[in-house]
Structure formats: C-alpha cells, structure tokens
Structure 1
C-alpha cells in the first residue's frame, strides 16, 4: 500500500487575479504532492477585465465575466480563504488579513491588482467610484442604473481620465443608459491636451465612437473636487454628475506600502524577470500590482495572462526544487477596445480598424478565456479494481460519488435508532435524567442540572478556521436547543499527515476559531485529543448548565405553530460544491450564514413547548422526532419553508447528499408538492436553525425577538392531533 504523502509546504496565492486564476488551473491539472495550496481573495469570484466594458454596456451579465473561485479552488485542491490581505511579513512569512487572522506561508505570490480611487482629489473618497477594483465598480454601476431607471438619480455621469479605460467605460455607460430608455449626460474629463493611449489613427476611431455614443469630451480640464452632484473643475466650472467614475491612472494598494517590501516610488512591487519580488526568493508578484524592473510595461491584463505559465512553473520549481524561468513580455500587443455598442476597435503599432466584426472577434477571444474556468477539465477518478466484494458498486452508486462532508456523511437514522434502542433497554442511573433520543443528555450533579452532548464533522470546506467556527456553532446547537447555557468543551481533532510546522499552523487556525466561538458563547475549552489521519475531522464534547426545565422534543401540543430559524439546503449545496456544480456565490453566502452563532436566537425561543436544532436527519427527520416524542402529528406548509439560494436549482438537477435516501425512508411526509422542495425536506443540515413548537399566543413575540438577533423566524406549519407528517 502506498503511504499517505505528508504535507510539508504551504503555497499561498494572495488575490484572485488573472495570473493566479490561470496558475491555479494549471496546478489542478498537475499538483505537486506534499504542497498545501491556499488562495486568499476578498470574495468568492474574480471579474475578468476583458469583458468589463461589455458588462457595463449591458452585453454581458455579471456571471458572464466572473471567475468562480470556489469551483476553481475545488478543482485545484486549494484552500479558499475569503478575506482581504492588509499586510505581509516577509521575514516571519505570514499574511495578515483585515479580520486580524494570520496565514503562514513557505512560498507566496501576490496578484491583487490596482485601484483607481484617486485619493488626491477632494471628495472622491466620499462621492466617487474607482473603475478598479472591478467588482466594486461593477456593483456600484448596477446600483446606479437601477436608481436612474427608478428616477431616484439623474442619468448624469462624469468619467475622470481620458485614457483607454476611461474612453471605453464612458461609451459603455452611455450605451447602457440609452438602452434603458434614459437620456444620459456622460462627460469624459481629461487633464491633458488630448485623449491618451492611442495612436493617431486609433484616436480618430475613438473620437467617432465617443460622438456616436453622445459622450461630451473635455480636455485640458483639471479636476479640483467631487461632490454628490457634480465634478468641480478649475475656474469654477462644474460638470453635473450623479455618478463620478475615476479612471485616471493606476494606483497601488496602500497596504503594500505598509509592508516591508521593495516598492517603486509609486508603490508597486519590484520584481525580477523570474517574477520574484526583489530580495525575496520565496515571494512572487504578478499582474498590475507588480513592476518588472528590467522590462517595465504598462498596466494591462494581457501581461498577467502571458505571465501565468511562467509563474506556475516557477512556483512549482520553488516548492519542489528546480530551475526558474524568466518572463519576457512582448513590447506591444493587440488592443481590442469596446466602442459602447457591439462594435470594437483593433489597434497595434500604427494600424487601427473598427467595426461590428471586430467586436464579434473580441467576444470570441474573451469567451474562450472564460471557458477555461466555466468548463474545468474533469480529472479521471481512481478506477475500482476489477474484482471487489459484492455490494461495493451498489453502495458507491452508478457514478461512485464521493462521500459527503458535514452532516451529509452521518450514519442513517434507521441504523442509528436501532442501535440506540438496544442501548436504551438497560438500567439507568438516578442522576441520568434523560437518555438517548434528545439533543443532549440531562444529568443531575450536586443539585444542578447539566446537559451533555457530542458532535463530530468531516471537513466540508478547506478553510480550517471557517470549518472550525461552523463546527463549534453546530455542536453548540444541541446545548442551545435545550435552553441551556454553554459551559465547557473538549476538542477531538484529526488532521491529515503533515510536517510539524504545518500541524502547528492548522491547529492554531482551528483552535483559535473554536476558542473565539466558545468564549463568545460563555464556554471554555478545557482539553481534548488530537491525531493525524486520512482527512480533517473535528468534534466537540460539550456541557451546558440549566437554570430552568430543559426544552425537549417531547412537549409539542396540538395547535402549536412550527417556527424555523434558518433556511434549509446546506447538504445539497455542499454536495454540489464537492461535485463542482454549485455556484461560488451561493456557497460563500451559505457558509457565512452558517458561521453566525445562534445563542441569542435560541433564547428568543424560550417559551417553546418543544425545540430541536435541524441537523443531519433533515427538517423532516427532526420534526418526526418531535412528533414521536410528543405523540402528535404535524402539517407542513411547504411553500413557507425557506431555502438557501441555489439549493432548489441543485435539487432540481438531482444533487443529493450521501444520507439523503436514508433520511427520506426514515421520515416520510404524506402529500404531493414541489419535488425540489420535497427533496430538501430530507436534506441533512450542518449548523442548521432551530425548529420550535410554540403556542399561538407566543408566536409574534418570538418572531420579533428572533428578528432582533439578525436571524429570520418563519412559521412553516403546525402541530396537529394524530400521527405522522403531511403537507398542509
């Protein structure tokens, strides 16, 4: 048997720019064993700059130009950490995020782009919008268009900077506003004597394009300030503008200057031909944030794309040993400039030509680039041996799907309940007040009542701190659901085989996140156990204290309303993410919701007759537990059940968690309804919400108190006489 290859090096990519995205894709095709790859980016997607003008003009949706980093990270086998870098310590080899978290590295690369926030112009920080970062600009523009269509703001736009970017965006914004049925006023403001970045022949095409789009061009105009309604020029001139966009020059991110790194006078990272930061063999930089000291070039995405293969090769050589390559950028490149509508200008050297055919050519080039990330290669799975035990192929399923993570990998409720029934047949101690069957056991200790529970999860995200935080909140759900206050926690941790240095890094990450959760909940970590194994598994054994009778699953009464405090669908989305079909935005939004503590929400449901947290057995399974223990039935208003964005679409395409079929068999729901929603009733939840049976007279107060915690309570049905569950 081949031994498990230990992890020995941390390779960290800071930023999801074009070069990093391409390098990560190349890494996924041929990873280096023993390397833990991490990608850090503020959001789950990264926009492709080549399609931005087309998006601003309305030719592309936001999804069309966004690289899904969640899918890319899954393909590359990378940890994706959503956060913004704000400092790099090249001596201590760690990156500090804006959250305060530190991520250690052995080798790192920086590809964070630039910004166009124009700090030197009075009022721009409060009233202006930089054309970069692209995602912030695109979101701000979409909001402005909707407000202009609603009549909330005038369709007046000013663009500061008459270079290629400023011209493209001015034409694109004017086109989009006209297409929306508005009469725009778009002004392009350039401080120099003429528009810049174009050859004389190309400039003629651009000027015609600006005129055709109704863009007013002001040259020799120095901007002195920006307000919420105008751009103030010299000599008391004012340009009316409800939106001011900055596109004059490229500015380095300020946090690079606060890091002890070699920079140019204007704040860009100085890099050698090998793309290594000057003086730091283990730190690379690419894209617009970097400055090649031997072959400087303008800030343009084409150079980042061309640098990607060299970066990928040099990162591989640095972590595994080998010779480094030099990047030699071309002296000029073909520029394809959008002209507002579906027309484009092509220019190189002194030649220039424009027209609709060139836009179609540009579109094909851009779509081909994006298709590299939309259709990631399917890497072949390890084939089964020719001879396996009977039942193996049936157990794995037709496609031999991976075992789900989180609660999707739990043992089925039928198997578990049979085992617990056998345990329950023995004698019970007087100080054990409740046995198996509820969220936690209730113990009598010295006149006090204590609750005791345990929970373990397979890692469902490669971000160790995020996983640890959610796992802790998930485990605390059992304590909170019974109306207890958390007291103490024991930790059980398994990590893959790795060097001691990497063990220390990942354990510090995980324990720090868990400690933060438990401290905020009023509990203390008092010990635990750790080991290395095949995969990351984290568990907590918790105690809590009761100063009231516990809220169990046995108190529901006919007429009670059923309140649910979180959407369902985590198992389906996590399964979809593992299969590479879930949308990154949906995954990130769900994980963010799952990482929010629920102690206050549980306290808002203190009047509940019965309560449980919705976890591995799904909404239907946990409602069935209330019905069985309380000797009642339940009606579910299927249309009222909230779901996480993206869950229904994945359910519709047949995505299911490993435990889904067992959950459905153990907790049938009578009636016919929307098939996707019916499937999600049995979806295993991780860090799910609370399901509470509440007297009708207490419902409004409970919902208001839940809302005050930041969660949203929803009445999804009611308790009825009889047995079983059915649709209302």
Structure 2
C-alpha cells in the first residue's frame, strides 16, 4: 500500500514484454504519488521467445509464463484481470470488460497482436490462433496430451507459411513425431517462407522436409471445420488441430480510439507517444511511424527502458520535461527453433545452425525470464535499539499482518470480551450466541442484520469491494435470508481530489453491481480518508424462518459449497510466493455469490458461512450451539489450487495460531492438510447440515449451479468435538 498521497494514475493496457519490464523497473524505482494499474485478460502472459520450445516439449508451461500478479505486487501496482475494450480520450477513461471504467492521467498500450482470422469461415469456432500466446499454449497442451492417449488422431494443419508458421510446425512435428499416424501440413496462399533470405529459406525448408512436414503453397483456405480444412478448389485436408499464424492483426477496438493508426496499429513517434501525447504504445501493437520495423519481440524489449523513462518524466513535476527518443536497431539477430534442440541464427546475411545455436537461444531466453521471475519483496526497516517491552516479540520473526479475514481478532479474545458485556432484553431483538447475524422482528416479519469490514489485501478497489460485498452477504445467506439493503463504509488512502472521485466512482459501481444482482439496494454510507484502503457493509435481509447454528441433528450430512485456502493463498501472495494463476482461481472463488447456494440449501437444519475462524472453528460453532459432535473426511474437503502446496511450505495466515487455540475440541491429525481446517476464509462458502437424502440432492444441484460443493462429513451425537475420519 502507498505511504504518500496519490496524485496521478498510470494505466498499462496489456501485459506484453515492455509492460512486464516496466513493472519490474517500477518496483525497483517507484515514482511516489503514482498509482499504477496493469490490465490483462489473465494472470499470466506467455513469453513468445520460448513458445516453440514449449510446443516441442523442451520447456514446461510455467517456464514461459510471465506472472503479472507477482510483478504487480512487486511494483506496488494493481492488476486488473479483464480485457480492455476501448479508450475514451475526452474523459480519460479506459473501458474494461466486466469492470467500471478506469481513469488515467497517462496510459500505455502493449496488447500485442492476434492471429485470429475472423473473415475465414469456421476459424473462430474451430481454429486456434497462435496469438494471444496463453490461449494457444493451453489448447496445444490439451491436444498433444489427447493425441498421445489415442483420443484424437495427430493430424494438424498450420495456416500461414511465414517464419512463425514454419517454426511452430517444426516444433509440433518434433513433439509428436514418434506417433505412427502423424500428419502435419503447412499452408500458405503464396510461397512458403517467401520473406526469408535464400540461405535461411533453404535451411528451414530442409528442416521441415526432414520432419515430414507437408508443404501446401498457393492454397486458398475456404473453411475450417472441427476435423478438416477445406480449400477453394474443393479439396480437403484432415486436421484435428488447425493453427493460424497468417499475418499479424491488430485488435479491433484500437480503430475506435481516434488515434492515428497504420493498418490498424497505433502509430508512435520516437518518444513512443501516439497522436495523443497522453497515450504511449509499444511492442507489436505499435507502428514505428518514424522508422518502420517488422513485428519482433526484440523491439518490445528494447523499447521498455525508453518507455519507462518517458512515462516517469511525463508523470513527474517540474518544467521542461525532456523525453528520450527510441532508436531501433537496423537489423537484429534472428534465432529460429528447428524443432529439436537445434536453432538457426540469421543476422546481416550470415546464417548458421545447430545445437550450439539452440544453447545460445536457450541462454538468452532463460536470462530474460530470470530477470522477471526473481522478485525479492522489500524488507521492513530494522527496529531501533530501544523499544517498548514486548514489541520485539510482536514484530521479529513474524510475517507482515494479513488483510481480509486473516486480520481478524482471534475467536478466544472475542468470546471473552463479548461474554462479559451486559445485554439489554428486548422482544424485537434476538441475537443467539455465535450466529451469523442478529434477528429482528417487525410484527410477523423476520429481519437479519450484520456487518463486515475488511482491510484491503489487493490494490484493486473494485475487486476488494466485490469480495467484501460477497463476504458481508454471507451472514445474510447463512441465516436463510434474502438480501434487502446495505450501508457502505469506505476509507480511502491519502490522494488528490481527482483520484478520490475516480476511486469512489469505481467502488460505488462495483458495490451497486453486486447488491443489485442479489436483489438488494445500497441505501447510504460513510466515507473517510485514512492510512490505507478499507471497505465494509452493514447488511440486512428478510426471511420467513431463520436457519441458526442450533439445529444440527445426529446423522446430518455436512455440505461445503466452496473450496478452502483463501487465507494461506493471500498470505503467500503478499510474500510473492503464490502463482498468479492460482490467485486468479482464489479471487474467482471469493467473488462467487452464495445466493443461489443459499436457496438450494434452504431446508438446512443448521447453516453458517465459513470465514475468519476457518472450517474447524465454524463447524465447532454449530456443534457447540447444537450440543453435537462432528466427523470430517479430510480427503473430501475441496481446496483451492496451490493451497495445499503453500501449506506444506509452512505458509500460514496471521490468525492461524489464534484459530487453533479457539478449537480445543478438535481431535485429529496434524500436518499441512489438517492445518487448512484452521485457515481463515474470506468470502468463503456455506457449511450446511442436512438429512442424508436431502444432502445428496443438494450437492448435485449445487454442482449444476457452478459450485465446487462436496459432502465432507456428518454430525454425530455429543459430546461437542470435531474428529477426523481417517
């Protein structure tokens, strides 16, 4: 989080090579007062230089992935997982699919290109574009696995006979070359590799021939189908994996920005500014109008230092800002993979190939990735020599305090404090000990009321608001109520008036979207400025008959509607030890509404939402109120991707120790898997007790509704205790 007031917004649209390098540089040399946002459809971006090696089987998937979530954490930036769809230059807003518009003072575009061919009949449905790289890598991984298992014939076609098509065809042929029925065809409407120098073309054609890749030049593709490619002359070719590499297409939304374009690509000058000086562009989506160059990753990498310096200069105070010019090299070393661990090197007319060139290319690629993967979090300053008694024990050898439910006060402390508070007897207020929400009566109508407030654990206030809203509504759903209304409290970090307005607009839109979807209304709230961003909601709901903790019966089955692990994953992300892909899954789980789950579980005997005290703590809350025991089948408890692996390393949320102390009735094994029972959950799932017959039907319905629900145990007769079924 930011220590100094924020006054400027920098938005990086796309997670290309230039922007990845900028995030690394920004983390090492931030500009105080600037909030950085990076927008990308997914948590990772693939490095193009290693893609042929991945296709050929020389690299694992994670080796070519740039983790934008980790890079953003290192840079102190917010990462927004969504697809940019446009720019309103007059209002200085970036439009993002499924997200309120993002305000910017300066923006940079590095979204790459696409190999999609929307004009080719059937390609959008059955074809696979080589770019964006992440999507292609996923589809290829699935196809080659299926081909090896005999589930599909290894018949493949590559549309586009340029260097990229030839390189990927060679890699595919190498990867599946040991399969007896392999057929791979490289197709082009003109000549294959026509843009290459004669010596380079000759060696590449020989490599393709050695790998038994069939060439089909002067061929016009008419249609792509699920199992074949049809040509304009009426012939057809069997293909169960049709890859498109034909040319580099810009993304369509750039045409609506009003920026000067060249064939759809953003035209930039020597400073990498577009026709709008507040918008920069780099990488393949940019056209160097002052000195045109072909599309190649080497330019994006070398543009990054200039782009970084120029963005900082524009965002800085002071007169006479001078921007650096980018001077592209006239020629560059081309290192082309040849399928196996061999490569071809081409520069200035000199061509050589062999294993030595592969080792050279591999070294360059790994060095580039190492630069972006070796991220060391900043260490807090050392304590002074003289401090208050007990301070060193609280600070030293302890990790930074978690956000979300990991920052809650322990259950044992809360129990002692609340136990000693005098209550006022009222007929219209019923608050049963430990229940999720208070019950209020209005004549014959029941109303529930609850409150939740969370410290920010992500830089994106929209994501934080959505998670907090779902988290707060969990108390309403757990009581079997329908959401009615909400009061909102927001504390903004120190920032300028313009940023306050932008942040609040995003936050309010996000909150309104969640509560409107659930049939509730935001009826007011309160805002303040503070040292860090936090958000909370006081929520109410209406119901006919409340579901409380005091209703579980021996023989009831236990249903959990969401996987565990948000606490340990958030703790790992804070230390930059969680993968972005795993965090993407964790965020998706946290923003998943439990409204439909609550309706499906409407006949539960007892129910709660699993939040700060962990599954064990909340289940024991049911046991204590109902005076029963419970048995859990540990192996049946669903977990978030990466949660068990993080737990095995010793990763724990701040409140973990307090949660263990709060569950004295636990009788079970120790170890990484069992420790996740005490992991605090943010916006966790519902835990419900139902009769055996009803439970089976509910799990089926929950899974059909998109929940990762599971039967995880059963209620037993007292005494109150939680045991594990080995």
Q: Which residue of 2 aligns with 1:215?
A: 213
Aligned-pair CA distance for 1:196: 2.9
* 8 Å CA contact 1:41, 1:81 repeated in 2: yes
Cα deviation, residue 34, structure 1? 0.5
8 Å Cα contact 1:703-1:712 kept in structure 2: no
CA distance in 1, matches of 2:523, 2:282: 45
1:637-648 map, 5 Å: 637-648=633-644
Distance 1:437 1:353, change over 3 A: same
1:444 is the counterpart of 2:441: yes
Could you state the TM-score of these two structures normalised by the residue count of structure 2?
A: 0.96
* CA–CA separation in structure 2 for the residues paired with 1:101 and 1:415: 40
Q: Deviations over 1:232-259 (max 9, x none)?
A: 3454443332222121211111111122
**1:481 matched to 2:478:** yes
User: Displacement, 1:671?
Assistant: 4.2
Which stretch shifts more, 356-365 or 98-107? 98-107
Q: Report whether the alignment pairs 1:575 with 2:575.
A: no
> Which position in structure 2 is the counterpart of 1:629?
625
Pairwise CA distance, 1:665: 1.0
Map of 1:617 onto structure 2: 613
2:511 corresponds to: 514
Q: Which residue does the alignment assign to 2:588?
A: 592
Report the CA distance between 1:674 and its aligned residue: 6.1
The 5-angstrom pairing of residues 445-464 of structure 1 reads 445-464=442-461
State the distance in 2 between where 1:598 and 1:191 align. 52
| Greater mean deviation of Cα atoms: 587-596 or 661-670 | 661-670
Q: What secondary structure, in the 3-state scheme, does the structure 2 residue paired with 1:333 have?
A: coil
Contact 1:420 1:436 in 2 (8 A): no
Instruction: Name 1:80's counterpart in structure 2.
Output: 79
SS where residue 581 of structure 1 aligns? coil
Please state how far the C-alpha of 1:128 moved relative to its aligned partner.
Answer: 2.1
Contact 2:377 2:575 in 1 (8 A): no
Q: Using the alignment, how far apart are the partners of 2:578 and 2:416 within structure 1? A: 35
Query: Structure 2 vs 1, CA of residues 261 and 537 (structure 1 numbering), >3 Å: closer, same or farther?
Result: same
Q: Could you tell me how far apart the structure 1 residues matched to 2:123 and 2:565 are?
A: 42
Which deviates more from structure 2 when the two are superposed, residues 600-609 or residues 162-171?
Answer: 600-609
| C-alpha distance in structure 1 between counterparts of 2:416 and 2:82, whole Å | 45
Q: State whether residues 195 and 219 of structure 1, in contact with CA within 8 Å, keep that contact through their aligned partners in structure 2.
A: no
Q: Do the aligned residues in 1 keep the contact of 2:476 with 2:541 (CA within 8 Å)?
A: yes
- Mapped to 2, the partners of 1:451 and 1:429 lie a distance apart of 15
Distance 2:279 2:112 in 1: 16
For the Cα contact (< 8 Å) 2:667–2:721, is it kept in 1?
Answer: no
The alpha-carbon deviation at position 435 of structure 1 amounts to 4.7
Between 526-535 and 316-325, report the one with greater CA deviation: 316-325
Shift of 1:4: 5.0
| 8 Å Cα contact 2:630/2:715 also seen in 1 | yes
Distance 2:576 2:260 in 1: 39
Q: Does 1:490 align with 2:487?
A: yes
Using the TM superposition, give the Cα deviation of residue 635 of structure 1 relative to its aligned residue in structure 2, in angstroms: 1.4
Residue from 197, 200, 204 that aligns with 2:198: 200
Give the deviation of 1:323 after TM superposition. 1.5
What is the aligned counterpart of 1:530 among 522, 527, 531? 527
Please identify, of 339-348 and 686-695, the stretch whose mean Cα deviation from structure 2 is larger.
Answer: 686-695
When the two structures are aligned, how many residues end up with a matched partner? 720
CA RMSD of aligned residues (A): 1.7
Query: Structure 1 96/392 Cα, relative in aligned 2: closer, same or farther at 3 Å?
Result: same
**Matched residues in 1 for 2:378 and 2:196: separation?**
44
Q: Deviations over 1:80-103 (max 9, x none)?
A: 001111111222111111226311
Cα deviation per residue 1:195-226 (whole Å; 9 max; x = unaligned)? 23422222222122112211122333333433
Q: Is the 8 A contact 2:629 2:716 kept in 1?
A: yes
State the Cα distance separating 1:228 from its structure 2 match.
Answer: 3.1
CA deviation after TM superposition for structure 1 residue 270, in Å: 0.6
Q: What is the DSSP-based 3-state SS (H/G/I as helix, E as strand, rest coil) of the residue aligned with 2:118?
A: coil
- 8 A Cα contact 1:89 1:260, kept in partner: no
Equivalent pair of 1:450/1:545 in contact (CA under 8 Å): yes
**SS of 1:488 mapped into structure 2:** strand
The structure-2 alpha-carbon separation of the partners of 1:405 and 1:358, relative to structure 1 and needing over 3 Å to count, comes to: same
Matches within 5 A, 1:661-672: 661-668=657-664, 670-672=666-668
SS in 2 for 1:101: strand
* Distance in 2 between residues matched to 1:482 and 1:194, nearest whole Å: 67
The superposition leaves residues 331-365 of structure 1 with CA deviations (integer Å, 9 ceiling, x where unpaired) of 11001100001110111011111111211111111
Q: Is the 8 A contact 1:668 1:725 kept in 2?
A: no
How far does residue 380 in structure 1 lie from its aligned partner after superposition? 3.4
Secondary structure of 1:681's counterpart equals helix
- Quick one: distance in 2 between partners of 1:672 and 1:432? 38
Pairwise mapping of residues 227-626 of structure 1 onto structure 2 (< 5 A)? 227-264=225-262, 266-278=263-275, 280-321=276-317, 322-398=321-397, 400-423=398-421, 425-548=422-545, 550-626=546-622
Q: Does 1:677 align with 2:673?
A: yes
Structure-2 residue corresponding to 1:154: 153
Deviation at 1:392, TM superposition (A): 1.5
Is 1:28 aligned to 2:37, yes or no?
A: no
- Secondary structure of residue in 1 paired with 2:429: coil
Contact 2:343 2:357 (8 Å CA) reproduced: yes
Q: Distance in 2 between matches of 1:668 and 1:201?
A: 76
CA contact (8 A) 1:160 1:244 kept: yes
Separation (CA, whole Å) in 1 of partners of 2:98 and 2:302: 33
Matches of 1:480 and 1:194 in 2, distance apart? 62
Which 5+ residue runs of structure 1 have no aligned equivalent? none
Partners of 2:267 and 2:189 in 1: CA distance: 29
Verify the 8 A CA contact 1:495 1:533 in the aligned structure 2. Answer: yes
1:473–1:687 CA contact under 8 A, matched in 2: yes
How many Å apart are 1:113 and its aligned residue? 0.5
Matched, 1:711 2:707: yes
- Does residue 694 of structure 1 match 2:690? yes
SS in 2 for 1:12: strand
Do the aligned partners of 2:6 and 2:499 also contact (CA within 8 Å) in 1? Answer: yes
- Judging changes above 3 Å, is the alpha-carbon distance between structure 1 residues 417 and 228 closer, same or farther for their aligned structure 2 residues? same
The answer on 1:653 being equivalent to 2:660 is no
Deviation at 1:691, TM superposition (A): 1.0
